Amino acid sequence: MSGAGVTGRFAPTPSGRLHLGNIACALLAYLSARSTGGRFLLRIEDLDPPRCPRRLAAQAMEDLRFLGFDWDEPPLYQSERAAVYERALSQLDAQGALYPCFCSRAELHASAAPNAGDTQFVYSGACAQLTAAQRMERAKSRRPATRVRVPDELLTFDDGLYGRVTENLARDCGDFIVRRSDGLFGYQLAVVVDDALSGVTEVVRGRDILSSTPRQIYLQRLLGLPTPRYVHIPLMLDDEGRRLAKRDGDLDLTTLSRAMSPQAILGMLAFSLGVLEENRPATLDELIRIFDWRRVPTQDVRLRLPEGLRRDAP
C-alpha cells in the first residue's frame, strides 16, 4: 500500500521553539498521510535566516523525534532554495504578472483599504500604474518589492474541514508580494514552489493560514503547478482560551516533557482534537490505526492539560 497514499508534510518556521499548536498540526498532517500508507515530509521554512537560526530547526527536529515522528526524506531548508524560487519568479515575470512596488510601509497604510478580515490590508495597486520612467526614477532612492497582479474574479476551493472557501483576490487581498524589498522571497511563493516540487498532495496546517490559500492556488495556476488537497485545522487554545504562540515560551516540550511522557503528550493532543476518545497515553502507530478526519472539530480546541501544567496551577 506504501506509495499509494497521499504525500503530506509539516513545514514549521523555526523562529522559536515548537509549541503544542505546531505539534497538533504535525500530528494531524502525519496521521492523515500515514493512515493512507502515504509519505510524510518535513520542510524547514527558514526564509528569513536571522530569525530562524539552525539551532532552532535542529531543536524542532529533536522535539518531533522525541514524540516519535519520522519523515521520509532529508528535510528541505527554504534558505537553501533561492535558485528554485528565482526560476519561479522569472516564469511569472515572463508572463507579465509581476511589477516592482516602491511603497513604504507608511504609504501602504495610508492608501490601503482594510478588508473584511480587518487585520490584512488590501493593496491599492498604486505602483501597478507607474510608467517605466517613473519606475527608474523611484528605483534611484528605493529598492522595490515585487508584487504579482491578481484578477478581479472569484477563486474557490474545498477545504477538507472548513468546506467551500471563496475569495476575490483583487477585492480581498490585492496584488501581493512575492519578493520583499530586502530581497527575501515571499512565503506564498516559496510554499507553492516547494509543495509542488516535493510532490506534496495534501497540506494540513492551522486555520490561521486559510486566508493565504487562495493566493497560493492562484500562483499554482500561473506557474502550471498542481493544487494539493488543503485541510486547515482548528487553533489550539490554552485552558484560558488563549491561542498558543511561540512567543509565549510556555507549553513547549521542555516544560511538557518534565511532566509527561511522549505518549501522554500525543494522547492528550489526540484527545483534544477528537482523534482519541479518552485522555490516555497513545503511540503514533496506534493513532494511525484509528485516525478519522470526521472526528476532528472545526471550532478551536482547548487543550486538556494535566493539572500541574494549567496556568492556574499553583
C-alpha distance across the termini of the chain, in Å: 50
Residues 189-208 that bind ligand GLU (CB under 6 A): 191, 205
How far is it, in rounded angstroms, from Cα 109 to Cα 213?
A: 23
Measured from each CB, the residue nearest to ligand GLU is: 205
Read off φ and ψ for residue 297, nearest 5 degrees.
-80, 165
C-beta of 101 vs 223, nearer to ligand GLU: 223
Contact code string over 41-80 relative to ligand GLU, x by CB under 6 A:
----x-----------------------------------
Q: Which stretch binds ligand GLU (CB under 6 A): 11-19, 59-67, 82-90, 128-136?
A: 11-19
Residue 19 in contact with ligand GLU, rule: CB under 6 A: no
Position among 13, 35, 146, 201 found at the interface with ligand GLU (CB under 6 A) = 13
Q: Which residues, 135 to 194, sit near ligand GLU by CB under 6 A?
A: 191
Considering beta carbons, is residue 247 or 258 the nearer one to ligand GLU? 247
Q: Residue 21 interacts with ligand GLU (CB under 6 A)?
A: no
12 lies in the site for ligand GLU, by CB under 6 A = yes
CB of 235 to ligand GLU, least distance (A): 11
Judged by beta carbon, residue 13 or residue 272, the one nearer ligand GLU is 13
Tell me how crowded residue 312 is: count the other CB atoms within 10 A of its CB: 7
Residues that bind ligand GLU (CB under 6 A): 11-13, 45, 191, 205, 209
